[in-house]
Structure 1
Amino acid sequence: MSQMPRALAAIGLAATLWVPAHAGIFDDDEARKAILDLRAKLEASNEAHRAKQAELNQKMADQLEQLRRSLLDLNNQIEGLRGDMARMRGENEQLTRDVAELQRKQKDVTTGIDERIRKLEPVKVSLDDREFLADPEEKRLYDDAFGLIRKSDFNAAAPALASFLRRFPASGYVPSATFWLGNAQYGRREYKEAIASFRSLVASSPDHPKAPEALLAIANCQIELKDAKGARRTIGELVQQYPKSEAAQAGRERLAALK
């Protein structure tokens, strides 16, 4: 082989050997660059992901905080409603008590009014075969005075009956009260006063069932006063006016004794 061909072959061989080495260096740089770019992109992606995650976390935290506040407000509202309900329950209970108290007072007032009306409302009285109306107070006072007659407490009965007649001069009790006043006076040995009371009954109510007894009582008073003449005259009046009465029969017997 000549010198020229050997030189050319050496150059070719050198060129052949140099090209792959250069290509390998170029491939490493590209790969390194690609890796760096990939790392940069990955880091950027991770950073974006972290930022997105942080944003989501913040939003979730904000939402949770808002939810917590909403729940707290709701609890406060519920507690407020409970307080309002408790207050309203207490007010209702107090109102119920007030209504009950008002109803009780109203009932007491109504009962009191009814009681006063009953005290003022006339009552029907049946006495000595006669019927009439009398005020409750009027009836009570007469009954009290007559109760003293029943006890033979003439010292108390006489003023009680006299007071009754002054207070109720037009009462249906007047004839009976006058008759028992005369009896009380007789029991007190006030014979003249008793005669006046019995005469008042006969004069004002000659048809009263007690009128015959009143005349006989007058005769008895006259006998106590030693007025036999007057007693005979009174008994004669009794027999003449009320001939069929028991008092007239008793008067006839008394008249016989006087003779």
Structure 2
Amino acid sequence: MLMRSAPSRLRQGLAIGLLVLGAGGAHAGLFDDEEARKAILDLRARIQASDDASKARTAELATSINAQLLDELQKLRRSLLDLNAQLETQRAETARLRGTQEQLARDLAEVQRRQKDVAQGLDERFRKLEPQKVTLDGVEFSVDPEERRQHDEAMATLRSGDFAKAGAQLAAFLKRYPGSGYAASARFWLGNAQYGKRDYKEAIASFRAFLAESPEHARAPEALLSVANCQIEMKDPKAARRTLDEVIKTYPKSEAAEAARERLPTVKG
């Protein structure tokens, strides 16, 4: 019985020891879990705090960066607006300068046109004042423009048949231009104008003056024949015959001499 009880007690002791050991190990395990839990909670708390701090810092940085970006954007916007304003001002100035340049070009063209017109006008005036060469009855000479105008005007009047006005114009011309190259012709046609208005004495005087100054003129034979015609109209056949003889003797080869030869037999006296 005793032999049996010792092992039993030993087994009981071992069991109790194991229980004590088991209870101590369990107690130690419980202690370790609690510490670990605390450590985990503390770590979580620190992680959460760090995360919160990081978020706060990130938010702060984001706010700061956004503020800086916004400020930079506003500065950039202002710079762009200033640049656009400068560009618009430059465009307006360029347009103004272009308009001014175009206006200046138009003004210059107008000034040049006026200068050209003035130059042409002056040239025309100078041409009117410059002597002009004319040829009349085979003779070339120079005359002033006004001198030529008055002569041509008188001749146009004569051709129109207004002998009185033509005679006045030719007489005025000779008075104003006594040494003109037109003078001989003017005297000849003055005699014809006087003949046309039946002023035969004045016509004879004009023809004789013409012959005295220009005996070799191409119209001299015709002028002498006209003197004879005036004498015939004045019923002075003797004077007419003498003049017709003079035409034949002085200008024998002229057409006027041929006409004198044909007329001479018809003049009785």
TM range (shorter): 0.7 to 0.9
Match of 1:132, SS? Answer: strand
Which 5+ residue runs of structure 1 have no aligned equivalent?
A: 2-10
Q: Distance in 1 between the 2:25 and 2:151 partners? A: 164
Aligned mates of 1:70, 1:253 — CA distance in 2 = 116
Question: 1:21, CA displacement in angstroms?
Answer: 5.6
Question: Which sits farther off after the overlay, 227-236 or 203-212?
Answer: 227-236
Residue 129 of structure 1 aligns with which residue?
A: 138
Which has the higher mean CA deviation after the structures are superposed, 228-237 or 137-146? 228-237
Q: Which amino acid aligns with 2:112?
A: Q
**Matched position secondary structure for 2:153:** helix
Residue number in structure 2 paired with 1:194: 203
* Pairwise CA RMSD: 2.9
- Is 1:71 aligned with 2:80? yes
Residue 147 (structure 1) aligns with? 156
Q: Does 1:36 align with 2:45?
A: yes
- Percent of aligned positions that are identical: 51
Q: Check 1:220–1:17 CA distance in 2 against 1; reply closer, same or farther (3 A cut).
A: closer
Does residue 31 of structure 2 align to residue 54 of structure 1? Answer: no
| Structure 1, 190-199 or 111-120: larger mean CA deviation | 111-120
140-149 or 230-239: bigger deviation: 230-239
Match of 1:178 among 169, 180, 187: 187
Q: How far apart are 1:226 and its partner, in Å?
A: 3.3
In structure 1, the partner of 2:4 is: none
SS in 2 for 1:258: coil
Q: Distance in 2 between matches of 1:238 and 1:160?
A: 29
Partner of 2:235: 226
> What is residue 4 of structure 1 aligned with on the other side?
none
Between 203-212 and 162-171, the greater mean CA deviation after superposition: 162-171
- CA positional deviation for 1:154: 0.7
2:268 paired with 1:258: yes
Residue matched to 1:5: none
The one-letter code matched in structure 2 to 1:64 is L
Across the two proteins, how many residue pairs are aligned to each other?
253
Rounded to whole Å, the distance in 2 between the matches of 1:65 and 1:179 is 105
Q: Give the letter for the 1:258 counterpart.
A: K
**TM-score under structure 1 length normalisation:** 0.83
Q: Distance in 2 between matches of 1:73 and 1:204?
A: 97
In structure 1, the residue matched to 2:213 is 204
Match of 2:172 among 147, 151, 163: 163
1:237 aligns with 2:242: no
**How many Å separate the matches in 2 of 1:138 and 1:244?**
34
Q: TM-score, normalised by structure 2?
A: 0.80
How far, CA to CA, are the matches of 1:258 and 1:123 in structure 2?
49
Structure 2 regions of 5+ residues with no counterpart? 1-9, 11-19
- Secondary structure at the aligned position of 2:215 is classed as coil
CA displacement at 1:121 relative to structure 2: 3.0
SS of 2:179's equivalent? coil
1:96 aligns to 2:111 (yes or no): no
Residues 16 and 245 of structure 1, relative CA distance in 2, 3 Å threshold:
closer
The Cα of 1:202 is off from its aligned counterpart by: 0.8
Q: Give the number of the structure whose alpha-carbon radius of gyration is greater.
A: 2
C-alpha separation between the residues in 1 aligned to 2:126 and 2:29? Answer: 139
Q: Give the AA of the match of 1:110.
A: A
Q: Secondary structure at the match of 2:140?
A: strand
**What's the CA shift for 1:175?**
0.9
Structure 1 residue 116, shift from structure 2 partner:
1.7
